[in-house]
Structure 1
């Protein structure tokens, strides 16, 4: 079962019929894709991904990612992919303040305004501009207070070596006890 796909569809308040129509496929076929009994072709995965504003590679990485998902779920680590416009195309293990429907297809500065969001956006811009990874500590004011993240961001390349976006890993830093 593709729980992530069901969760994403529900967070965007869409029905299976709406996603199927948006991807130009039969609803029953889409239901089979969601429940994991059918795998989409690259073309169908790309159409669904385009409609939901996600990266189509999500459909094909499940078997490889199961051990990582088991290890990272609930951990202090968040992983994200963004396109060249710095809009989120994928997010894993996100903070509860950032639901998928609130984040996918948007830049961090469109989600909320703060100097930390500008700093994160500037990191992503610099990664693309310089075509090299950057690691930096960024503090975010979130619902339970300020959380400090050790963030590593690097460019994502296509098969021809062109930059197509950024991938980032942010780890919540432990606050020192006094």
Structure 2
């Protein structure tokens, strides 16, 4: 299967196949076959390519998902149905496969349009064109412009945290009061008090100002780039946990300070 995610990483660095191959100490034809999925890199080659393009080399070894598993678990509709039926809430998405990440991002945007709600997608430039190409095969340019607002994650670096919150307050306030708002954010590093967390708190405390506007937020992270200790901390903050194949109630979500988190069934059985 063609490695679209690898092509996007290379294009984001504005490098040719020949340049990446040179940096990775392999022939251009070999690298080209890696991009098209005809060949798999050795661990050494994977490390060299990942170093040249600045990503986790383990991404190469997450391509083991077969087509039947994809159709059974992803296209069955469980995740799109959640997007369609839930008008508000917070979801932590820990993904392992970039192609599945893209599929779910597009599904999220399409269900937003279907529900006549506005969607703000905050992602890195390298994924924008990929998502837009997929959307343009289904939606008109007018629909994309009306319902979907793209924000380049890298551009947000010029703002102070308070300025970013103000920016999104104004953006959300522009939407019709009776419309639902959906936010999809792609993050590289976890911070439980970052700008979007502050925006979430603002929307919670200022619902009257937005006429009790409902907001559904997806926070997505590459699972292989998040430390295990952070996984647990993140799951305590979000009521829903999403993977490439499912959305479930977060096992560690703490509703309030009096909530209790019990050990797993495996631990309980061995106590």
The alignment's C-alpha RMSD in Å is 5.1
Provide the secondary structure at the position in 2 that maps to 1:149: strand
What is the match of residue 37 of structure 1? Answer: 38
TM-score for the superposition, normalised by structure 2: 0.37
User: In structure 2, what is the Cα distance between the partners aligned to 1:39 and 1:96?
Assistant: 32
Partner residue in 2 for 1:123: 192
Alpha-carbon distance in structure 2 between the residues aligned to 1:122 and 1:4: 25
Between the aligned partners of 2:11 and 2:17, the Cα distance in structure 1 is 9
Q: 1:79 offset after TM fit, Å?
A: 3.9
2:193 & 2:23 partners in 1: Cα distance? 30
Higher strand share: 1
Is 1:52 aligned to residue 121 of structure 2?
no
Deviation (angstroms), 1:16: 0.5
Answer 1 or 2: higher relative contact order, Cα 8 Å, separation at least 6.
2
Listed as ranges, the matches of 1:1-178 within 5 Å are 1-64=2-65, 67-68=69-70, 71=74, 78-79=93-94, 92-93=101-102, 96-99=121-124, 101=126, 110=157, 113=161, 114-115=164-165, 121-123=190-192, 139=200, 148-149=216-217, 151=219, 163=227
Gaps of 5+ in 2: 84-90, 106-119, 129-152, 169-184, 202-213, 235-240, 244-271
For residues 2 and 109 of structure 1, do their structure 2 counterparts lie closer, same or farther at Cα, with a shift above 3 Å needed? Answer: same
Kindly indicate whether the alpha-carbon contact (under 8 Å) linking 2:56 and 2:224 is maintained by their aligned counterparts in 1. Answer: no
- Deviations 1:4-47, CA, capped at 9 Å, x for gaps: 21122223322111211222222111111111111100111111
Distance (whole Å) between structure 2 residues aligned to residue 10 and residue 152 of structure 1: 22
- Aligned to 1:64, the other structure's residue is in SS state coil
Q: Which has the larger radius of gyration?
A: 2
Do the aligned partners of 1:139 and 1:148 also contact (CA within 8 Å) in 2? Answer: no
Give distance in 1, aligned partners of 2:220 and 2:124: 21
Secondary structure (helix, strand or coil) at the match of 2:200 reads strand
TM score, norm. by length of structure 1: 0.51
CA distance in 2, matches of 1:165, 1:29: 38
Q: Which moved more, 1:11-20 or 1:38-47?
A: 11-20
How big is each residue's C-alpha offset from its partner over 1:69-105, in whole Å with a ceiling of 9 and x where there is no partner? 9828x95575458xxxxxxxx79335754135489xx
**How many positions carry a matched residue from both structures?**
140
